[in-house]
Amino acid sequence: MSLLCVEGLVVGYSAADEVLKGVDFSVDIGEIVGVIGPNGAGKSTLLKSIAGLLKPGRGSILMNGESIGGRAPRDISRMGVAYVPQEQNIFPTMSVRENLEMGGYIDPAGCGRKIELAFERFPILSKRRRVASRALSGGERQILAMAMALMVEPKVLLLDEPSAGLSPIAAEDLFDNIVAVNRAGVSIAMVEQNAREALTIAHRAYILVDGRNHRDGPAAMLAGDPDIRRIFLGA
Amino acid sequence: MPPLLAEVAQLVVNGMMAGAILAVPAIGLTAIYAVLRFPNFALASHATIGAFAGYIANAKLGLPILPSVMVAFLAAGAVGVVTDEAVLKQFRPAGFITTAIASIALTIALENIVRFGFGNELRGYALPIERDWRFGSIRVGPQQVQNLAIAAVAMAALFCFLTFTRTGKAMRAVADNPMLASIKGINADMISRLVNFVGMGLAGLGGMLIGLDTTIDPLTGFRSILSVFAAAVVGGLGSIPGAVIGALTVGIGEELCLLFLSPDYRSAVGFVAILLVLTLRPRGILGQRADA
């Protein structure tokens, strides 16, 4: 059984305005799973629904076999699912250290130890621990947002377009960090506009089009598919 | 010291004293704005409620000033939580303008409840009559200094609460980014009750400090709300250090205007300050947009 398993997920503002129209999706232990597709395909909606920010209309979302669909974000977070929004994913006037503390708000036990662990894992944050986080660069903000999510020691990390707006160098650095987090034992579901990079680091990937599953499979296979290369990778 | 310079120095000292007291409710207003995103004008009646709660504790029950100030804080804070839960919370989904207007209606209702219970006459706290202290040509009342100390302790306590406690940091997190705070599991309802308690408690404390300097009546809060609002706007709505700077600016400005104008025009300083800030720097001195 998958760690995170979504089946037939329908999410929308009304019956006539469905964003997800029956999506299947899963993440196994130790995987990086990419989600790519054109704008408006429902990629971010999928992650927000898993995180509890949007209520599913139909379908199921299971974490370790237990239904999490429609639960409050804090309950879903307690069950080991941490979500990193694409934007506005830090507390701008608070210091880097305080942001990490708030990242682990629901599980304050051992907070100091977990913050030190975060500083060891991401030395760039350690150097800037007392700085108000609004002063961080775009790449540093994304790393902080990810480090905040890791404070609850999740089993699955949901990353919503982490490289959006970053320079190529900052994006590359961020992807290296994502791979390192995954190697440390955290499964990752990642929505990305940067399909080429996403397929490079992911083990498997899903392609969503118009709120439905279009293709899925091993990332290397999808990256080698001529149609996908032409449509999504610009090759 | 030349007479004009001495007069200016005296007015600046008076202004700093008044500003420090003004800062207390201004912090309350700005803290509530930061978390709940609407200017809560019911702060005026809560300042009055605090002033009267402190009056009962001090003049009726015979408590000294310091415990009476605590009573003012606790009573206004408790009323703030109840009125928000019972009245203003229902208006929040309708937007900030509707909620702000509802807060004006609420403040009129509460003010009249106080009037119903206590009448319109002026009342004073049971204070010992003390000689002013003189520093050269500058005179300072011991009660003014005590008020300044109480205001400073209240502000320092709030600073420590927001900086060093987990709940205080959670309050700042909600003010910074409510959606992310919700994702991180911070209970927004608990934080909104807490900010109402602290904010309205500070309003009540401020109301009593204003009353200690003069007298109290059901319009005590109403008369000072313009200056409080001006202080928060000048400093930058939502910024607590800004509220302190704004209050000192407005407090000193109101005193210095006495050099040129009759005291009747003192409250015009608040209007002018709001006008200038909204024209020249709408976000206030320390206000900033959360742009992350």
What is the Cα Rg of chain B in Å?
19
Task: Report whether pLDDT(B211) > 50.
Answer: yes
Q: Which residue of B has its CA nearest to A149?
A: B184
Residue B17 lies in a domain: yes
Position A6 scores a pLDDT of 96
Domain at B161, CATH number: 1.10.3470
Q: What is the CATH number of the domain that holds A113?
A: 3.40.50.300
Rounded Cα distance, B55 and B218, in Å: 12
Dist. CA B280–CA B233, nearest whole Å = 12
pLDDT digits (tens, 9 = 90+) for A61-76: 999 999 998 899 989 9
The helix or strand, by DSSP H or E, that contains position B151, with its residue range, turns out to be: helix B142-164
- Domain assignment present for residue B127? The answer is no
Tally of structural domains, chain B: 1
pLDDT at B250 > cutoff 90: yes
Q: Which residues of A touch B182 (CB under 8 A)?
A: 73-74
**Residue B27 resides in a domain:** yes
Q: Does A108 touch chain B (CB under 8 A)?
A: yes
- Amino acid code (one letter) for A174: L
For residue range B93-131, what is the model confidence (pLDDT) as tens digits?
A: 999 999 999 999 999 999 999 999 999 999 999 988 888
Tell me: the pLDDT tens digits for B217-248? 999 999 999 999 999 999 998 889 999 999 99
The CA-based diameter of chain B, rounded to the nearest angstrom, is: 62
A-chain residues near B172 (CB < 8 A): 91, 93-94, 98
B292 is a domain residue: no
pLDDT at B290 over 50: no
Res. B171 pLDDT band, cuts 50 70 90: very high
Local mean pLDDT, 10-residue blocks, chain A (235 residues): 91 83 95 92 94 92 92 91 94 96 92 95 93 94 95 96 91 94 96 89 94 92 85 68
Quickly list DSSP for chain A: --SEEEEEEEEEEETTEEEEEEEEEEE-TT-EEEEE-STTSSHHHHHHHHHTSS--SEEEEEETTEE-TT--HHHHHHTTEEEE-SSS-S-TTSBHHHHHHHHTTT--TTHHHHHHHHHHH-HHHHHTTTSBGGGS-HHHHHHHHHHHHHTT--SEEEEESTTTT--HHHHHHHHHHHHHHHHTT-EEEEE-S-HHHHHHH-SEEEEEETTEEEEEEEHHHHHH-HHHHHHHS--
Run of H or E residues at B134? strand B133-135
**Could you list the residue range(s) of the whole structural domain that residue B170 is in?**
3-121+136-280
Q: Is A45 on the interface with B (CB under 8 A)?
A: no
Query: Residue A184: its pLDDT value, please?
Result: 94
Does residue B130 form part of some domain?
Answer: no
Confidence class for position B291, pLDDT limits 50, 70, 90: very low
Q: How far apart are CA B186 and CA A105, in angstroms?
A: 7
Residues B46, B221: contact at Cβ < 8 Å? Answer: yes
pLDDT over threshold 70, residue B292: no
**Chain A positions in Cβ-Cβ contact with residue B292 (cut-off 8 Å):** 88-92, 133-134, 141
Q: What is the pTM of this model?
A: 0.89
Residue B212 lies in a domain: yes
Contact A73 B185 (CB under 8 A): yes
Size of interface A-B (CB pairs under 8 A): 73
Total tally of structural domains belonging to chain A:
1
Of A83, A93, A94, the CB nearest to B183: A83
| Whether A85 and B169 lie within 8 Å, measured CB to CB | no
The domain in which residue A150 lies consists of 4-232
Q: Is the pLDDT of residue B28 over 50?
A: yes
Instruction: Show which of residues 129-188 on chain B sit within 8 Å of chain A, judged by CB atoms.
Output: 166, 169-170, 172-173, 176-177, 179-187
Q: B163 pLDDT band (50/70/90 cuts)?
A: very high
For residue B249, count other CB atoms closer than 10 A to its CB. Answer: 21
